[in-house]
A and B are shown apart, each in its own frame.
Chain A
């Protein structure tokens, strides 16, 4: 009974991000399964306002292809976008980075940039040949806006282990090490995290 109360008191410590269901379209393009679709409504006012600040907005998308009922994802594809409003040239520069390499594109309108940051267009997932017929598949995506930089996380962990800010080789605090375990999976790692799930689809 006591434990139950404890758990109840402890669980809400981290706000849960709920999964958003979205319709995507899946296409066979030259023997490659691609996904298209967007989630623009998730890009809220606050993020929109910051777009023209001159500072970068980074979006990391991780796209997982699952077979229904299967445990592990069949394939994982990632794309990183970085949008900066160039205060000098007064236009947006968006950097795309994925398996195919790194590209830059320039835009004038906010809307065009938001579209790019919150959508996938014919984004290749995997070779069609590898997709089984008449089986249900779905795609899940985790999209992080302005993920926490690795440097900051590492630094926080270092502080925790040596709370006195001690030098290398100083004794590590047991409590700190214990706490730093939690940092790994409890701390929110980005400004926004969206979890999106597609409808089921199959290869006829």
Chain B
């Protein structure tokens, strides 16, 4: 995990966990309070419950003891003993019935006396019904004289049933207490599970979010590295619409501008070097031309011999040298005008007026083909250009189109269209022809100085065009399809206000100042 990821995850965890911990503490408190309240209640209940149970137990024991003691008392009854002793069965029966009915012995339901022979000599019931559902009985056996006394006592069943219910209640109370204790541990469990889930989710989400961000940042910083190492073709992929995407977009634009600038500076340097060469060449060639021509003229004029063959040779040589010297002069002319291109002096110019001007002053080139037309730009667009040089640029482009068509023998059908349009901060100027076009290998080299495909070409035209455009802070490019035509596209800075004009002017002058200073490569 990167530090950034750790930070994000920690923040998310903090946000998620703090309220959870707070609620765990709170719930724990509530559970504890309610438990202790409930525990108090159960306590209050269970103590009397167990007292009640003890009371019932004591009751049962007491009741039993009463019956046992009653039996013992019955066994001491003098009347019974004497009747038994004298084998007075009649008297015995009478006394037994008397005792059972006397109510002196609570719960006594039946009494029987067995003689020494083990047979029942007398028995009696008190006449009441004791159904088993409602009564429990206790049979007590006591020795009586030489015989036995069997007494059956009855006691209501209800207390026993109550006692059982009490037992069940106590059990339930115990069970609920146990359950309650375990429930709080279950609640703790559930909270811990939720806690874990929140922890996992927060960590996952945090890592996801952090990864996405760091990935983009890493891509950007990698790109910055590449640029620092000098690779200005670097571009980063723009994804999404957040600040990082904005950053990526800005980065791409910045690199693009850097690249354009470097190309511009490189090109201007190269052209500068070529200009120097052209200047020297022009100088070196120009100087001997006049003596050569003068010498030839002299030789031609001074010959007075009458050898017709020599005469003819001399005439031919004179014509050839004169023509070649003329050609060289033109070349020198081209070289030195290339070498001494004037500095750009920009001013706000209305594009329409500029083109109108061009059509007035360069009639001859526009008449060498079917049509050269221009579309007026609306609304009026102002550009910051050097009027003279920009006309020269347009002239060069139109002339090239015408020459290319002438060489291909299609100038009769050639149409050239000049158009301009506003495109944000920039103005796009296009010169489009339907001439022969050019293959890719030519197209790539046409802006190089001295590159030409024409017998009498200098290859300087487009080099000059590009130099002028670059010095205006603009750019130039070309599209071409063989057999269909070519389109030259120039981008210039648009000017709407004085302030902008000033800005453009300083941009241009800075460009002009920087270019020659750069180290040649």
**From A58, which residue of chain B is reached at the shortest CB distance?**
B171
Contact digits for B380-411, partner A, Cβ 8 Å, 1 yes 0 no: 00000000000000000000000000000000
In the complex, per-residue mask of A145-164: 1 if CB is within 8 Å of any chain B CB, else 0: 01011011100100010000
Q: A54 to nearest B CB, angstroms? A: 6
Given A6-B195, A54-B163, A188-B178, A179 contacting B190 (CB threshold 8 A): yes
Query: Do A149 and B175 form a contact, CB below 8 Å, given A179-B190, A186-B182?
Result: yes
A187 to B189: give the CA distance in the assembly, Å. 12
Q: A6 contacts which of B57, B175, B179, B192 (Cβ < 8 Å)?
A: B192
**Does A129 sit within 8 A of B, measured CB to CB?**
no
A187, B182: Cβ atoms under 8 Å?
yes
Q: Which residues of B contact A10 (CB under 8 A)?
A: 188-189, 192-193
Are B187 and A179 in contact, CB atoms less than 8 angstroms apart? Answer: yes
B155 to chain A: closest residue by CB: A88
**Interface majority SS (helix, strand, loop, mixed), chain A:** helix
A33 to B185, CA, bound (A): 43
Instruction: Indicate if A47 sits at the interface (CB-CB under 8 A).
Output: no
A56 & B167 in contact (Cβ 8 Å cutoff): yes
* Distance A186 CA – B136 CA, assembled complex (angstroms): 44
Complex Cα–Cα for A175 and B187 (A): 10
Q: Does A53 contact B (CB under 8 A)?
A: yes
In the complex, the number of residue pairs spanning A and B with C-beta atoms less than 8 Å apart equals 81
Which of A2, A14, A88, A148 is in CB contact (< 8 Å) with B138?
A: A88
**Using Cβ atoms and an 8 Å threshold, which residues of chain B touch A13?**
185-186, 188-189
A12, closest chain B residue (CB):
B185
Contacts of A146 in B (CB 8 A): 171
Residue in A53, A54, A156, A182 whose CB lies within 8 Å of B190 = A182
Q: Which 10 A-B residue pairings sit nearest by Cβ, starting from the closest?
A: A55-B167, A87-B60, A13-B185, A182-B186, A6-B196, A152-B175, A187-B182, A10-B192, A148-B175, A156-B179
Please give the residue numbers on chain A whose beta carbons come within 8 Å of chain B beta carbons, in ascending order: 2-3, 6, 9-10, 13-14, 53-56, 87-88, 146, 148-149, 151-153, 156, 160, 175, 178-179, 182-183, 186-188, 191
Q: Would you mind naming 27 contact pairs between A and B with Cβ atoms under 8 Å apart?
A: A6-B195, A9-B192, A10-B192, A13-B186, A13-B188, A14-B185, A55-B167, A55-B170, A55-B171, A56-B167, A88-B136, A146-B171, A148-B175, A148-B178, A149-B172, A151-B172, A152-B175, A178-B190, A179-B183, A179-B186, A179-B190, A182-B189, A183-B183, A186-B186, A187-B182, A188-B178, A188-B182
